[in-house]
Structures are given as C-alpha cells and as structure tokens.
Chains A and B, each alone.
Chain A
Amino acid sequence: MPETANAQIWITSGFKAASDGVSEIAYCSTSAINPATGQASPAAADYEDFASACSVTPSTGAVIFSAECPSPSNSPYRNPSGSPAKGNPTGECDISFAPQPGVTYTVNSEHGIWFYLDPAGTQCGQYIPDGVCFSDPLGYYSANPFAADPWPIMPTYSSTQPLFTLDEPCSTMGNCTPQGIPVYYCAEKSTIFDLCQSGYVVFEVPFWFLAKTSAQWTYSPVSAIITDTSDIMNGNATVNLSAPGGTTGDLTLSFTGTNTNGIEIYVPLFSELSTGSQNLELPFDGVPPAVYTIADGSWDAVLPGTSTAQTVNVPDYTLPTPWTYFRKIFYTQYNVPHESACSGGDKDAWIVSTSVANGKTTCNFMKTKLNSQFVAATWMNGTGVDLDGDTLKNAAAVNLGDMQSCVGQYPHDAIGHSKAEGNTFEIVNAVTGSCNTTLIADQSLARPCKQVGKQCPVTVLSGVQALSCGDQLNLDLGNYATAYTRSVDDLCPACSDSSTFHGADGHIDAFSSNTSCTGRAVKSLGFFYTSYPTN
C-alpha cells in the first residue's frame, strides 16, 4: 500500500579493485541500501526488485559487457533471469576486465525498479474494470497517457570521477504520490461509446526506469620503481612513483651492502612523496660504509579518498655499478715545497747518497745549508725542491734513515728519523708516487698504508676496502654534487693512524700544487663524503 514518499533509492556507477589484485571491476547498482549507513530503506519492502545494467567503454578498444547485464543498450529491463543485476535490496551488475595503463574507462549505466502487483480488486483508475494494478508506494512513477509521448524524460548523470552515487528523489521521474498503476489503460477513448479507440489500449509492464549514470576511471597502477642510481656516489637516487593523481605516501628504501665486518643495510625514509619521478637525496650521515649492490623497499601509498595506505613493494633493483661508499673522509694536503717560497734563515742539512765498494754499501753525507723552513717542510711532506732545482727526498722515506740502511753512519747532528725534525735528504730525479707514476698536482691522492718493516701495506679504508693504484674517488661536500674527482697514485703512511682522522672515517692525503713551505698556506681539502664514481 502507498506510504509517505521519500527518496530512498540509490543509483551508482563506479569502479572497484577485484580480489585478484590484477583485474578491475566496473559496476552499476540500484539499491535500497543507504551507502552511508548500510541500512535498508523502506523502499526495499515497497518494490519487488532493483535493477541495473551497464557496459564499459574504454578510451581505446571495444565496449565491454557482462553476462550479468548483457543488454547492448544497457537496459536493466532485459537483465537475464537470476542475474545479481536484478535483486532486492540491491541489483548490481559487475563487469570484470583487465585494465591497461593509461586507458580511461567509462561505465555507462541505467537503473530501474520492479513493481509489486497490488492485491486483486485494487482500484487504480484502470481502463478494464477487472484489471490489475502495480504498486508504487513512493511515487517514483509518472506518465501522461494522453500526451504524444506519455513518458517523462529519463535524466542522465555523468561524472568524470571513478565513483558516482546519487540518492535519487522520487520527483525525478515520478510525482512522489503513493499510487497504483493500471496495467492497462487507454491512451485515446472513443467520443461515442466511451470505448477505447482501437489500437490505443496500452499494456504496462511492472518496471520503471530511474536514470542513466556514468563514471570514469583511468588506470594508473600503484607502483614504486627505482629507475636511476647513476649518481648515487653523490647520494642521489631516482624513484618513479605511479598512482592516481593526488596519491601521497612514505617511501622506505633498503640498500644492502657488505663491508669487511659484515652485511650492512641502509634504510632511508622519505616522507609524503607524491606521484611521478622523484629525485631522492640519501642522508649521507646515516649510510654505513659498505659496497652496496642491491636495493628494494616499499611505498605506503594513500590514494585520494582513502585513509588507509596501500603498501606496494619496490621491486629488487641491482645497482648497475656497485656503490662503494667510504663515508666522511678527512683530506689533508701534501705538497712539494720550493725553497724559493720559504722564509727565514738557513740551517745545517745533509745530502745522503750511497756507494758500493767490495760488496758493501756505504752511506755518504754532504753537509749543506738549506732554509730552515724548507728543511722542515720537505721532511714532513717527503719531497722538496731546493734553490738549485734539485728534488730532495726525506731520507727515511727512501730507506736511508739513521734507523735503516744507514744506521750508525750518520754524522753528528744529522737526523734521519723524526716526525718533523729530520734534516737529511737524498737527491732524486722526479717526484713519483708509490704507484710509480708522476704525481699530478691537485689530482693525485695518497692512500693510507701502515709501515711494516720496509713495506707499507695498504690499509682498509673505513672498513670497506683498500684503495688500489689508479682508483678514482668522488668527493662530495654533502651537497649532493661532485666537488672533486681524484685518483690514487701514492701511499700515505701517516693516514692509517686513527688519531689523524679528525673524527672522520678515514684519512687521505691529497697532492697539492701549492709550493709553499707552511701547512698554514697549503691547508687541507677538508671533509668529504667519499665514494667510487658510479657513472
């Protein structure tokens, strides 16, 4: 029986993820369930069934139908018997399909309701006295049998969003008056006998259209992929984040590497990243020194209109070139001081040379005068050029020190072992590093080694690995850019002593073009985050 009319039927077009995690489901529904509360409205009892029919039109490709609602014109009236597209309190048609990235899908839907028959004998103005009536308690139906087109225009609601739901009012297609609807009525009566004009008896079906709706969805798969680590030596990595526009989320990367002591895993976190190609700067100070070869991670993507993050894994990524990272290294500088650049007075110094007679090596000493500042600078740096243009070498560095092969032969006041007070030198032909290559100013580096007897084995830098001759190093101040690229050409016996690290993770001596005699003028390069180049 008729009730108070209210809008209590919801029509929907939309898309939702399939349970297989791969497919997408386009759907249309007509329902007496209030989506906000999950509760059924009185319409569930007022109408026999709710029906929907829809199809999906992709931006490229053919229209997709569902067996649940196969009508080419999306007519829910033609839904097959037993289909979930016709039901109470909901009739929903699902169209499952495999989405293609970048393709826009439009679901086009029609919605309708099925009426109950009124009890026999119910009078509803029917043309045939003993005819029957359909029940429309909420007044969704209306018609003007005497108009040229007796039916009202069915509204169309189009949305570019992936979900469209409308609580359709009864006034849209009806008169909101509880009513019975005659199954037969006369569209045009005879003026003489009050009979229906031949051919104008209308037979009504117990179904009524409500509206057409549509919704749109573009497939933007949620993914996070590391795409570039060619500049990871400067802490830069690029990740491509794909998801519907407006998606944001925290990205966690995980770099796995090894150093001499074990496996290291570096896990930087980047907050609230949006979609697109993201250039990430890895916080240097948190990176354990190691050789990193692989990376993965996860992105907790929060899609628009959702509050729960969808976690997607970053696929395993093998760095094209392993990232050998030594952490922050302190770079002092050494040079070849020139006596002409020194100041102050002269002091005694000795030039040592060797001669062999009768199978016995003899150390020969020649006393000379050299600038006092030059003597100290040449001893501490290992090499210097005097006013005559001769290249002088620290005697202890060439095994001619007074605790080495010339032990017991040093003249009074000649010093052949000391940190800073040595005054005995050998004349050499050229400034070469331990790698037997000519040192290049402002380019060559001396790697740490630890003297053992006459040898100076290379020590492991930062617990990662020992540097080799010719190795290139990338020096970054911490601003994610290369400050210098330098090459390993020499050894530094003083650089393996942790007391010279200045709190850094290692120590390297850089060969400077400065010819000054004081450390104050030569200075240091400073602290640099150090890696092997990766591009």
Chain B
Amino acid sequence: MNSQARFFAHKMIGKMIGLGAFSLQMLLIAAPLTAQDRSQPINSEIRHTGTAEIRSVTKDSGFFPDRQPVVYWHDEDWKIDLLPLSTPDAAYELSITSSDGKMRIVKLPEDYSQINSISKTTNDKAIVIADINGKITAFGLVDLIAGKLIDNFAMSPPSVSPNQRFILYVNTDYYDYYNYRLYDTSKTPKENTCGYRLNDPEHKALDESYRGIQVYPRKGDQVSCSDEALKAFEDENHNLVSNVIWTSDSSKVVFADVKSGVVSLILVIMPHDDHDKDHGRDKDGNHNGDHDRPRTLIYSFVGTENVCGAVGPLGPTGCDNNNVKSIAWNGDSVNVTLVQANPTGPAIVKSLTIPIAKFVPLAK
C-alpha cells in the first residue's frame, strides 16, 4: 500500500469507528480494488444457527488480508464483533458485548493476519480461526466472561464440529511429524495437551505441537501422552486427502488419510465425558480416562477396493487427494467416491458405502 493509500485508510477507519459502522462489508477499504482484486473476491457469508447470526469468510476464499471482510457472531447472549484495525500494522481486536450490555475488548495475537470466523461454544467461549500467512492457520480460544484469550496456537486449517465443541486438525511441522489431533473446547488448554518436549521434563510448556489429543495415528490402547507413545509414529508418512466431515450431531467425524500408498477412512467417535460427570473433573486430576478420550476406528481400501498405485496413461500413479473424490455421511454409513487410474481411458470412479460396523479399532 502506498503512503497515500495508507493515509486514506486511516481516515476511513477513523470515520468508520466514529460512526460505529460495524455493518460495513469490508473492514479494510483502504485502496481502490485492482483488476486482480476484483477477479479474486474474498467472500463472506451469513448463516443462522439457533438464535445466532454468524458472518464469516467463505471457505476456500483464499488469503487476502488487506480485504478483511466483516466477521461476527451474534446471538441472544453475546455479540462478538471483529473491530476494524486502528492502524494497518495493529493487532485485531474483538468487541464482546454480553446480553446485559457489558462490553469488553480482547486483543488478538499480532500474527492473526486474516480473521476467518468467530464461533461460540456452549460454555461461553469464542473460537477464533485466523490465517497467519495462507499456509498456517491460527486457533484462538477466548473466555467471553473473563474477556481474555485463554489459548492460541498454530495448526493446519481446522474443522470445527457443528456444536462448536471439538476441533479436528492436522498437527505437523511438515518435517518430522504428521498426525491428527482433537481439541475439546470444554477442557482447559492444559487438559488439551498430550505430550511434551524432551527438554521440558517438568511438563510446564504448553507446546503447540502437543496440543490436542492425538487421534491418528496412535495405538488402539494408548492412554498416555508419553513421548515414546507419540514417537512410535514419527516415521509414518501420512497425508490428509479429503475434507473432514462431521455428523450433524457432532458425535462423529470422518476423513481420508493416505499412508504408504493406501487410502483409509479414519472415523473418530467423540468422547462422552461420562467419566468426568460421574466422578468430578478435578477429583483425581486425570481426565484421560476411557470415556474422556475419543475413539478412533479405521477402514482401509485394500484388495479390490485399492485405488492407489495403478498404472495410468503417464505411468504408475501414487496415492493422494486425486484418488478421493468425495466423502459424505449416509446414516450409519459413509459414502465415499474413489478414483483409480486407467491407462487407456477415463479414470475409473468407484462409489462405495462403508457401514460403521466395518470400521475396526486401531491396532494395539
């Protein structure tokens, strides 16, 4: 942005705040849109859930931080709005207004470049999903009553459950590890930590790479978050090759993973929290009992269902997202459409329905 445009932006923002103009369509109307901008709009959408009206950046709109759209969550209890930037380099802030009219301002981390969505959990927390640089997404959890940010870490683009309680994401630094983790917003950041760095023997750090419960890969009977248990899968070569699909009641989620040239559906059943309800969450300090943990089941496409490694027109193929066309829930089954290479004609499309009963627990 040139200096003249920056000056204009400041003037605009000042005017917007003066008018209390939260209904503006875009929070940064600083410079005239270029032809490239016009050809690549960053869209936002409004949806309604219960009494809530939610405005968020449309999925897959890209990373265009200088065109931040209006984003908010409004329901009968809370109005959570993204405030316009006070300066182009400032950190974003949330305006949080409770039903009794009390308003708080919560500053978000400086590296939140583009705010994609704000959603509210059932226990008065707000989930903020932000883009840091187009490749790395940030997750923030705000305590609405206390008016402060209580957790924040980077992840691959996450998937939030329809009830806003769970967040499933890929945990990777793209060099040494690649696993899927589940974050439970009903628990504390500490309770959502599984694993510690070797140089943190006292387990004090809330390390980004150990946040969340590792749901895959893991051992079927794994209960600890020890380094040894987690390191057992470091050498495995996993890759997410589908969207993450939740059931409407948020009780289950399914996605496709590739490991060693085999596509598998990974089914994660959410924890029930029975253990905690029966015995009290703080009684023994251990919230990783059987009922507190998610259960992971797997269905691998092998044998005649294997679509990977076939020979295509250009030679032998690998196994990636091009082999998985779609996944959808169908009652207690999962519909999946797979694609297999064909050397002499169009690709072979296989539509399969996999009942949950055919999924098996992870190996112990």
Contacts and interface: CB of A to CB of B under 8 A. Distances in A.
Interface in B38-65: 39-40, 59-65
B173 A419 contact: yes
Contacts of A413: 199, 205
A460 B320 contact: yes
B173 A418 contact: yes
B175 A401 contact: yes
A402 B198 contact: yes
Contact of A261 (B35, B239, B339): B339
Contacts of B88: 520
B237 interface: yes
Interface stretch (A143-151, A227-235, A356-364, A446-454): A446-454
Nearest to A459: B320
B111 A417 contact: no
B240 A498 contact: yes
A496 interface: yes
Nearest to B310: A261
Contacts of A373: 110-111
A460 B343 CA distance: 17
Contacts of B341: 260-262
A420 interface: yes
Contact of B113 (A262, A451, A477, A519): A519
**Overall SS of chain B's interface:** loop
A196 to B, nearest CB: 92
Interface stretch (B153-161, B277-285, B355-363): B153-161
Contacts of B62: 330, 502, 524, 526-527
A522 interface: yes
Interface size on B, as a range, is: 35 or more
Interface in B329-351: 339-348
Interface string B214-243: 000000000000000000001101011110
A284 to B, nearest CB: 12
A417 B156 contact: no
A261 B322 contact: yes
Interface string B141-183: 0000000000001111100000000000011111111100000
Contacts of B345: 262-263
Nearest to B39: A477
B322 A412 contact: no
Given A412-B200, A519-B131, A417 B170 contact: no
Contacts of B317: 260-261, 460
A523 B172 contact: no
B208 interface: yes
B198 A415 contact: no
A494 interface: yes
A264 interface: yes
B346 A262 contact: yes
A521 B66 CA distance: 8
A417 B134 contact: no
Interface string B282-299: 000000000000000000
Nearest to A526: B40
A417 B173 contact: yes
A519 to B, nearest CB: 3
A259 B313 contact: yes
A305 interface: no
A365 to B, nearest CB: 11
A332 B133 contact: yes
Given A343-B89, A494-B135, A403 B237 contact: no
B111 A421 contact: no
Contacts of A521: 89
B110 A518 contact: yes
B321 interface: yes
Nearest to A331: B134
B237 A450 contact: yes
Interface string A419-462: 11110000000000000000000000000001111000001101
Contacts of B153: 420-421
A297 B37 CA distance: 36
Contacts of B36: 477, 483, 526
A333 interface: yes
B70 to A, nearest CB: 17
A500 B135 contact: yes
Contacts of B134: 330, 332-333, 500, 502, 519, 523-524
Contact of A496 (B132, B239, B344): B239
A524 B134 CA distance: 7
A450 B239 contact: yes
B21 interface: no
Given A333-B134, A460-B322, A519-B132, A417 B177 contact: yes
Contacts of B348: 262
Contact of A494 (B60, B174, B321): B174
Contact of A499 (B132, B156, B340, B347): B156
Contacts of B138: 420
Contacts of B322: 260-261, 460, 462-463
Contacts of A422: 173
A396 B65 contact: no
Contacts of A401: 175-176
Candidate in A262, A418, A504, A527 with the most chain B CB atoms within 10 angstroms: A262
A380 interface: yes
A380 B133 CA distance: 9
A397 B175 contact: yes
B193 interface: no
A527 B65 contact: no
A397 B293 CA distance: 33
A523 B36 CA distance: 13
A316 interface: no
A201 to B, nearest CB: 88
A380 B134 CA distance: 11
B199 A261 contact: no
Contact of A380 (B59, B136, B155, B344): B136
A131 interface: no
Nearest to A419: B154
A520 B170 contact: no
B241 A498 contact: yes
A189 B168 CA distance: 123
A451 B136 contact: no
A480 B178 CA distance: 39
Given A344-B110, A380-B133, A526 B176 contact: no
Interface string A460-495: 101101000000000001110001000000000111
B185 interface: no
Contacts of A82: none
Given A261-B339, A477-B36, A419 B312 contact: no
Nearest to B345: A263
18 contacts: A260-B318, A261-B317, A261-B347, A263-B313, A263-B346, A265-B346, A334-B133, A403-B176, A403-B177, A403-B234, A404-B176, A417-B176, A450-B239, A459-B318, A495-B135, A497-B172, A501-B60, A518-B110
Interface of A: 258-265, 291, 330, 332-334, 343-344, 373, 376, 380-381, 396-397, 401-404, 407-408, 410-415, 417-422, 450-453, 459-460, 462-463, 465, 477-479, 483, 493-504, 507, 509, 518-524, 526-527
Given A262-B312, A507-B135, 14 more contacts: A258-B313, A380-B132, A401-B176, A403-B176, A418-B173, A420-B208, A421-B209, A450-B239, A453-B235, A498-B240, A499-B157, A500-B134, A521-B89, A526-B64
**9 shortest A-B CB distances, which residue pairs?**
A503-B60, A519-B133, A420-B154, A332-B134, A262-B347, A463-B322, A258-B313, A493-B174, A261-B347
Interface of B: 35-36, 39-40, 59-66, 88-89, 110-111, 113-114, 131-136, 138, 153-157, 170-178, 197-200, 205, 207-209, 234-235, 237, 239-242, 312-314, 317-318, 320-323, 339-348
